[in-house]
Amino acid sequence: MSERVEIRFPHKTVEVPVFVGTEGEKAIDVSNLRAESGYITLDPGFVNTGSCASDITFIDGEKGILRYRGIPIEVLAGKSTFLETAFLLIYGHLPTITELAEFTNRIRRHTMLHEDIKAFFSGFPRDAHPMAILSSVVCSLSTFYQNENRPENELMELNTVRLLAKLPTIAAYSYKKSIGQPFVYPDNSREYCENFLHMMFSVPSEEYHVDPDHIDALNLLLILHADHEQNCSTSTVRLVRSSMGNLFACIAAGICALWGPRHGGANQEVIEMLEHMRAEGGNVKKYIELAKDKNSKFRLMGFGHRVYKNFDPRAKIIKGACDKLLNKLKRHDPLLDLAKELEEAALQDAYFVDKKLYPNVDFYSGIIYKAMGIPVPAFTVMFALGRLPGWLAHAREYTHDPKNKIGRPRQIYTGEMQRDYIPIEKRG
């Protein structure tokens, strides 16, 4: 017999079932609470509410655990590739050699954009934010692949491949538009990450060799960002999918949700904070003290995490890659020097250690992207490239769930009670 708990109300006691996950997480199933009691739950930000049951990603914030389909992130970061990790998230198992080769080849065949899409880029202002361009063009893909006479499952499969293949091309075109350089077509002889960096930084007039260390760093960053359970953007993708919106619209909505500084824009804020500190003299000790002062408005970006109460397991992995890349470059960049100084000062400060405010994945990813030459406004675009497999996996999981329902949260109304309409000529 399944476990049940009692919820006592002034007028009655209601029994509700307890849902237990495979890792022992427990949830009180309140799906019938309003019908049985007349009450709903109120949970601003849904911080204590499970919106679904999912078998994609497991997080234990207290213990610093992150697993994709049961496999620790540390293992995937050390042994996998981004496309293999994407396959794992989307299809639920590690691919065989044949499956991965077929998956990779299918993606390679869809990297090109329809030539008419170039006109869209011409219509954007030169200073348009890359996330605005990315979300707009992704949504517009639905106009190029509309009314396709295919079974729903086959269409989702094809659009999944299209999105994985085309998002790097769109992202690279967005960057080229911002600096006035010609678009560089994808080169399908190159691997996924190499192809993207080649489209970003090469020009038609001369040969360009992508740094292997940059390829490795990007592959690692994309894996670490590939999914993170029911965050704002992933929840948005599932919510839009619950209306049976097409996959391009779902992913465009996820990109828009990721854009904000509270979510995907955090790594951009790290660099902007460092730039501010440098402009003010670069006194790290001063800003460490300001961060500890409750009366100060200064906030140290890239430290601590809403979910991880101890340490961010992704940050531990990425720190090594960050150190390796900076040591190899041997390039003097005052901003990167300041970041290392800030990191060392915070890790040695008792306040930060006691409160477990360690550098998170946003802190290190921002530093790596800057070292690679990625422009700061495009940092969140890089986050979107990594998070795409997770979004696709969740859209797919929702679609295949026989119990899925359209998302329709309740609310507690706090406005005016019923009142009369006063004719305009009688209003004061």
Enumerate the active-site residues. 305, 362
Question: With contact defined as beta carbons under 8 Å apart, do 230 and 208 qualify?
Answer: no
Q: Is the CB of residue 164 less than 8 Å from the CB of residue 381? A: no
Instruction: Enter the pTM of the model.
Output: 0.92
d(CA 351, CA 98): 52
Give the model's pLDDT for residue 301: 87
Q: What is the pLDDT along the chain (428 residues), one digit of tens a residue?
A: 478 999 999 999 999 999 999 999 999 999 999 999 999 999 999 988 999 999 999 999 889 899 999 999 999 999 999 999 999 999 999 999 999 999 999 999 999 999 999 999 999 998 899 999 999 999 999 999 987 888 889 999 999 999 999 999 999 999 999 899 999 999 999 999 999 999 999 999 999 999 999 999 999 999 999 999 999 999 999 999 999 999 999 999 999 999 988 888 888 888 889 888 989 888 999 999 998 888 888 888 888 887 887 778 998 898 888 888 888 877 667 877 888 888 888 888 888 888 888 888 888 888 889 889 999 889 999 999 999 999 999 999 999 999 999 999 999 999 999 999 999 999 98
Q: Which residues pair with 359 in a beta bridge?
A: 303
SS3 state at 68: strand
What is 266-372's CATH superfamily? Cytochrome P450-Terp, domain 2 (1.10.230.10)
Q: Are 245 and 216 in contact (CB under 8 A)?
A: no
Axis-axis angle for helices 152-179, 97-108 (nearest 10): 60
Domains 4-50 and 72-260 share a fold: no
- Beta strands 13-20 and 57-60, pairing class: unpaired
The residues spanned by each domain of the chain are 4-50, 72-260, 266-372
3-state secondary structure of 18: strand
Q: Which residue has the tokens 């990109």?
A: 255
CA distances from 229 to 66, 274, 406 (A): 9, 29, 19
Distances (CA, A) of 139 to 26, 54, 235, 247, 316: 37, 26, 18, 9, 35
- Angle at 371 (CA atoms; ends 89, 83), nearest 5 degrees: 20
Q: Topology of 72-260 in CATH?
A: Citrate Synthase; domain 1 (1.10.580)
pLDDT value, residue 331: 64
Helix/strand/coil percent split, the chain, to 5:
55, 5, 40
CA distance 6 to 11: 13
The dihedrals phi and psi of 303, each to the nearest 5 degrees, come to -125, 140
CATH of domain 4-50: 2.20.28.60
Angstrom distance (rounded) from CA 274 to CA 363 = 10
Q: Which amino acid would we find at residue 243?
A: S
Helix, strand or coil for residue 324?
A: helix
C-alpha span between 253 and 237 (Å, rounded): 6
Name the amino acid, one letter, at 386.
G
Q: How far is it, in rounded angstroms, from Cα 135 to Cα 112?
A: 17
What pLDDT was estimated at residue 210? 95
Tokens of 270: 């790290």
CA dihedral defined by 331, 335, 338, 339, rounded to 10 degrees? -90
Give the list of residues 6+ apart from residue 388 with CB closer than 8 angstroms, or none: 86, 163, 164, 167, 251
d(C-alpha 78, C-alpha 62), whole Å:
23
Spatial distance between the Cα atoms of 38 and 44, rounded to a whole number of angstroms = 19
Q: What are the tokens at 111?
A: 């990297």
The one-character DSSP state at 422 is P
Alpha-helical runs (H) found in 348-423 = 350-354, 361-372, 379-400
The radius of gyration of the chain's CA atoms, rounded to the nearest angstrom, is: 24
Terminal CA-to-CA distance of the chain, rounded, Å? 65
